[in-house]
Amino acid sequence: MLALTDVTLLYLCLAGVGVYLMKQAFAKNHAPYPPGPRGLPVVGNIQDVPRVKPWLTFAEWGKKYGGISHINVLGLHIVVLNSAKTTVEMLDKKSSIYSDRPFVAMTGELMGYGQTLPFLRYGKRFRLFRKNFHRIIGSHASVVVYYPIEEIETHRFLKRVLANPDQLQAHVQRTACSFILRISYGYEVKEDNDPILDIAERALDQLSRNSLTGEFMVDFLPSLAKVPEWFPGAGFKRLAREYRETVEEVAAVTYKFAKDQMAAGTALKSFTSDLLEGRTLTAEEDHDVKWSAISLFSGGADTSISSLYSFFLAMTLFPEVQKKAQAEIDAVVGPDRLPSFTDRASLPYIDALAKEVLRWNVAIPGADHCVTEDDIHDGYYIPKGSLIVPNIWFMLNDPETYANPSEFSPERFLAKDGKEPETDPRAFCFGFGRRICPGVHLADASIWISAVMSLAVLDVSKVVENGVEITPEVDPSSGLISHPKPFKCSIKARSDKAFALIQQDTY
C-alpha cells in the first residue's frame, strides 16, 4: 500500500511538472504559427512539400495565406516569405538572428558543400569567408581590375558562337566557367580538352541538379545518413559519395594550380593569389583559403550560366527589345569597335536590359535561411531553428510590383513621362541580409558586358524548320540554380563589319 502511494505521488509530481512546463511553453509561445496548409498527425505537412518548381506552390500559398506562411515537416518548421516587405524586415533588419543556414544533410554534409560559403552555418568561418570576399571583390572599385578579363572571355565567346551557333548552351557554360576559373585561381582554360574545365563543369552540373533542400528524405531525417550504401533505398548515399569526390577534387586541383603558379612566380592576379600573397599559412588557414576560393567558383559560375542563357532566350522571344538595344549601341558606340565597360554610363537601355535579365528568369528562385532564436514577427511565432524560405521568384514576378511580369520589358526600369522606374530587381535577386551574394558586383558586370557585346555584333532570332518558325518554351528548371529549358535559336553576325570585329585578335 505504501509503495502504491509512493508511485502515485511520483506520477502526481511528474504530472505537475508536465503541466508547469506546458504552461511555460504556452506563455513563451502564446503567438500562433503563421497560417498554412493543415498537416497530418506525426508527419505534419510532408505531403505538401513541393518537389518540382517549389516557388510556384509557395506563390499559391501566398495568395491563400498571405505574405508569410508555415508548414511543419516531421518537426521541422518551414516559413515561406512571399512578401518582399516582410522579407526585408526579417532577413535584413533582423539579420543578426536570420543569417544562419539550415543543416542540409544531403548537399551540405554528404555531398561536401557544407564547407563552401553558400552552405556554411553562421559563425566564425562564415564571417571569415565573407571578409575575404568583401576585401577582394566587395565593391565596384575592387572588381574593375577584372573588367578586361570579362571583355576578353566574352570576345572568345562570340567567336565560338559564330563558329558553332547550334552549341549555344555549351558555349555559355564554357564562358562562365572560364571567367570564374580565371578570377578565382588565375587559371586560363585551354581551347580544347581542358581537364580542369571538364571536372569543374561536372561539379556545377551535380550541384545544380541535386541541391534543393528537401529534395531527399535525409534532409528531414538526418539519421538516414548513417544507413549503409548497400541498404535498400540508400541510393542517395552512393550519389552523395560520387558528388563529394567531385567537389573535393576540383577544390584540390584548382587550389594546387594557384599555389604552384605562385611558387614559380608566374601567377596571374586572382582571388586566391590575393589571399595567399605574403602569407605563411597554418593548416587551418590553408583550408580556409582553399574553400573560400571554391566558394567563389561554385557560387558564381552556375548563376552566370543561367543569366546568360536567359539573355539569349529573351532576345529570341522579344525581337523588338533586341532592335531597341542595338539602335542604342549603334548610336553611342558605332560599328567600328566592340563596346566596353567604359561605355556603360552612356547606354541606359542596355543597363535596363541587364536588370530585366536578372528579373525575368531569376537564377536563384529562393535561398534558405535559418533563424537562431525564437522570434515573434507580425504577431506570428517563428521557432528557433525554423527554415526560412524567401520566395525570390514571386517577388520578381509579383504583378503589384512589376506590370505584366511575364513580359521582357527593359522599359520598366527607365523613368518616362514622369513615371518612376519599377523596383530594381537587384534588391531581391542577390539575396538578403548577411547572406546577400558577395559576388554581386562581378555578377552584375558579367551580364552587362555579355549582353552589350553580343548585341553589338549578333542577331538572335527564332529558328525556322521545314518552313515553320519554332518558338522556344519558357520553362525554367527546378534546383537551387534554375536554368532555362534548352532551346533552339538562330545566331548570325549582324553585318560583314560585325563579323570582322568578332574575328579580330585582341588578346
Q: Which residues are annotated as a binding site for heme?
A: 437
Q: What b-and-e string marks burial along 391-429, b requiring 16 or more CB atoms within 10 Å of the CB? A: bbbbbbbbeebbeebeebbbbbbeeeeeeeebbebbebb
CA–CA gap between residue 299 and residue 430 (Å, rounded): 11
Please, what sign has the CA dihedral across residues 212, 215, 218, 222?
positive
Question: What is the helix (H) or strand (E) element at residue 370, kind and residue range?
Answer: strand 369-370
Residue 116 identity (one-letter amino acid): T
3-state secondary structure 15-48: HHHHHHHHHHHHHHCCCCCCCCCCCECCCECHHH
Based on its alpha-carbon atoms, the radius of gyration of the chain, rounded to whole angstroms, reads 25
DSSP string of 74-132, one letter each residue: TTEEEEEE--HHHHIIIIITTTTTS-B----IIIIIISSGGGSGGGPPSSHHHHHHHHH
- Whole-angstrom CA distances from 407 to 201, 317, 339, 361, 382 are 31, 10, 27, 11, 36
C-alpha cell at 5: 502511494
The pairing of strands 369-370 and 458-461 is unpaired
Q: What b-and-e string marks burial along 487-502, b requiring 16 or more CB atoms within 10 Å of the CB? A: bebebebbeeebeebb
DSSP 341: G
DSSP 375: E
Terminal Cα distance for the chain, rounded: 97
- Whole-angstrom CA distances from 408 to 255, 321, 386 are 40, 8, 35
Q: Which residues pair with 389 in a beta bridge?
A: 80
Give the CA-trace dihedral at 113, 118, 120, 124, to 10 degrees: 140
CA–CA gap between residue 345 and residue 351 (Å, rounded): 8
DSSP 492: E
Q: Which residues pair with 377 in a beta bridge?
A: 380
CA–CA gap between residue 99 and residue 123 (Å, rounded): 10
Please, what sign has the CA dihedral across residues 171, 177, 180, 186?
negative
Residues annotated in a binding site:
437
CA–CA gap between residue 419 and residue 422 (Å, rounded): 9
Say how many CA atoms lie within 13 Å of 235 toward its Cβ. 2
DSSP string of 408-475, one letter each residue: --GGGGS-BTTBPPPPPGGGTTT--GGGS-TTHHHHHHHHHHHHHHHHHHEEEE-EEETTEEEPPP--
